[in-house]
Structure 1
Amino acid sequence: MNGMGTKWLAGTVLGLPLSVALCTLAILWLPGGWDSGVIGALLACLPLWAVIISVSVLFRSSAHAWGVLAAANAVSFGVLWLPRLMVA
């Protein structure tokens, strides 16, 4: 299966956690942190997910879409967990 449907599925399935992770990273780097950024991040999460879904159909193959989005998720969540791992 190398069609647009599987690319779109990759963007849908892997795009939501990626969108959440990227919005969470943005909150952590804002000056006010969670107190001032959580509402903005929640509002930005859905449009970012839609952008990721839209961009996912531009990959050359569905395997490439799944691979790149999975790697982006791994990096994003790894960066989120890095401070916890450094404290322990």
Structure 2
Amino acid sequence: MNGMGTKWLAGTVLGLPLSIALCTLAILWLPGDWESGLIGALLVCLPLWAVLISVSVLFSTSARAWAAFGTANLLSFGVLWLPRLLHT
């Protein structure tokens, strides 16, 4: 598989959880309860995933795409889990 295919695959595989995590963070940080922002987040999640797939092919190498998306996932899910870890 050439570099373009693996960059696209990184955006596809790691972009979906990143999109979900970013939309979840947006719901949690916006004023009001999470129920009020749920529909908006669901509407934004799929287009954001498409944007992340498109951005993934802009990396110079597939290793950088996988590393960047992996790091972004770790950071975003880490921020989501931080309150749970601190309350335990």
TM-score band, normalised by shorter chain: over 0.9
Deviation at 1:2, TM superposition (A): 5.0
Please list, as runs of the form range in 1=range in 2, the aligned pairs for 1:77-88 lying within 5 A after superposition: 77-88=77-88
The answer to whether the Cα contact below 8 Å between 1:19 and 1:48 also exists between their aligned partners in 2 is yes
TM-score normalised by structure 1 residue count = 0.96
Deviation at 1:67, TM superposition (A): 0.4
Q: Which blocks of at least 5 consecutive residues in structure 1 are unaligned? A: none
Instruction: Report the counterpart of residue 18 of structure 2 in structure 1.
Output: 18
TM-score normalised by structure 2 residue count = 0.96
Instruction: Report the counterpart of residue 32 of structure 1 in structure 2.
Output: 32
Give deviations 1:41-79, integer Å, cap 9, x for gaps: 000000000000000000010000000000000000000
Please list, as runs of the form range in 1=range in 2, the aligned pairs for 1:1-88 lying within 5 A after superposition: 2-88=2-88
Partners in 2 of 1:33 and 1:6 — Cα distance? 39
Identity of aligned residues (%): 78
Partners in 2 of 1:64 and 1:17 — Cα distance? 18
Q: Which blocks of at least 5 consecutive residues in structure 2 are unaligned? A: none
Size of the aligned set, in residue pairs, is 88
Partners in 2 of 1:63 and 1:79 — Cα distance? 24
Partners in 2 of 1:73 and 1:2 — Cα distance? 24
Corresponding residue SS for 1:71: helix
